[in-house]
Copies of this chain bind each other. A is one copy, B any other.
Amino acid sequence: MDVHEVVEETLAKLGKTDGVWISTFSAAQLHARADEIDPSLPLAGLTFGVKDNIDVAGLPTTAACPGFGYSPERTAPVVQRLLDAGAIAVGKTNLDQFATGLTGARSPYGTPQSVFGGGLISGGSSSGSAVAVADGTVGFALGTDTAGSGRVPAALNGIVGLKPTRGLLSTLGVVPACRSLDCVSIFAPDLGTAGRVMRTASGHVAGDPWSRTGQRPLILDPRVAVPASLDFFGDAGQEKAFARFGGDLKVDIGPLLEAGDLLYRGPWVAERLADLGEFLEAHPDAVLPITRDILRTGYGFSAADAFRAQHRLQELKLAADEIWQTADVLVLPTIGTTYTHAEIAADPIGRNLDLGRYTQFANLLNMAAVTVPHGFTHDGRPASLTLFGPAFSDETLRHHARSLTGGDVMTIAVVG
């Protein structure tokens, strides 16, 4: 298809789903961009959305907080790499304010719905990016993932989500959530596209203190572990869907869950205040009440609490790393259950924590993660798997995920 036709098609789809986009380039801007693309480039003409906590010059960055918004002078290096490879940035997507939340229901710019309907939340915080990919508006999208924001909305919209090893994709030009944990993530309809985007977007960026490079050999036939026990929060459908995956090698994920609890229930909430505290106190009314309340729990922790939690995390890392002595890949359900907007409204804090139960430990424990669809529950809700591995195992995870989703998984899903 001609690049201008791609642009026209994208323009026609924009706004197909409510609450997905915060700002977009104009038709004229997108066509001008299409004119300058060298068709020989690896991502030539592939359209993408950018979560609105990542800078794209020419569009404001809001982090879903209008009062916080600014006009960035520079495009974030991770976005620039994609533009340099011929991709077309369409606009900025909605998110849970300041990337704080996993529901997609915490934005003044509207509330996206899961593409599967039924009143299901889109998931968050990268809500708009996931839905824009799932409804076919763009070819891929960038999100961010601190506690699960790149995986939970992938699960709720039946698409692929890559949560790369921390530091592989630069976070320069990204509004910090927890600066030491933040990752840029990738949403795509399939693993092939996700992998192409990943290879283009990753790499060392000079001047980024969090940039890391590293290597781990690709393992073609990884040893795969599953948790010895799991809590599906009473959701028999998701439990049955995960049971289809099977898995003989069982491991204790207790240390992972304890580590994850440090993020929202422990001192890491205060890491968000390290960057956002000043704005929060100067403009408390500019912030959503739920976001403000969550962020302010960070004031309850002392520096000694923070160090104590980091010491505990170091012990938990030791325990978690034991998993990699017997397994190369750990597979979990991305989320234990799905929620409707009504269910989230009834318990917005508690159910947000439930959504993060199997995602929020990954960055604390220095893991890479790949989320893939895993068919549907018997009552038609999306099921999803996340594959975890140690830092720099990204390729092994993508490779193994491809073998899981090569055909039969989706077939089982449709009849399951």
A interface residues with partner B (beta carbon < 8 Å):
178-180, 207-210, 267, 270-271, 273-275, 277, 298-299, 301-308, 310-311, 314-315, 317-318
Contact = CB atoms under 8 A, between A and B. Distances in A.
Nearest to A178: B307
A314 B210 contact: yes
Contacts of A308: 274-275
Contact of A301 (B209, B267, B302): B302
Contact of A303 (B209, B267, B314, B315): B267
A274 B274 CA distance: 20
Contacts of A306: 270, 303, 306-307
Contacts of A299: 302, 304
A170 to B, nearest CB: 12
A307 B209 contact: no
A103 to B, nearest CB: 25
B209 A314 contact: yes
Which of A298, A302, A305: most chain B Cβ within 10 A? A302
A266 B275 CA distance: 17
A270 B304 contact: yes
Given A209-B315, A311-B180, A277 B303 contact: no
**Interface class of chain A by DSSP:** helix
Nearest to A308: B274
A309 to B, nearest CB: 8
Contacts of A304: 270-271, 273-274, 277, 298-299
Which of A304, A306, A318: most chain B Cβ within 10 A? A304
Given A271-B303, A274-B305, A277-B304, 7 more contacts: A180-B314, A209-B314, A210-B314, A271-B307, A273-B303, A275-B308, A306-B307
Contacts of A274: 304-305, 307-308, 311
Copies of this chain, complex-wide, total 2
B180 A307 contact: yes
A180 B318 contact: no
Given A303-B267, A303-B298, A304-B298, A207 B318 contact: yes
A135 B255 CA distance: 49
Contacts of A298: 303-304
Given A298-B303, A299-B302, A310 B180 contact: yes
A280 to B, nearest CB: 11
A274 B371 CA distance: 37
A306 to B, nearest CB: 4
28 contacts: A178-B307, A179-B307, A179-B311, A179-B314, A180-B311, A207-B318, A208-B318, A209-B311, A209-B314, A209-B315, A209-B317, A209-B318, A210-B314, A267-B303, A270-B302, A270-B304, A271-B304, A273-B307, A274-B308, A275-B308, A275-B311, A298-B304, A301-B302, A301-B303, A302-B302, A303-B303, A306-B306, A306-B307
Nearest to A269: B303
Contacts of A207: 318
Nearest to A206: B318
A314 B277 CA distance: 19
Contacts of A315: 209
A305 B277 CA distance: 10
Contacts of A271: 303-304, 307
A318 B205 CA distance: 12
A310 B303 CA distance: 11
Contacts of A179: 307, 311, 314
A393 B274 CA distance: 33
Nearest to A180: B310
A307 B276 CA distance: 12
A304 B308 CA distance: 14
A299 B305 CA distance: 10
Contacts of A311: 179-180, 209, 274-275
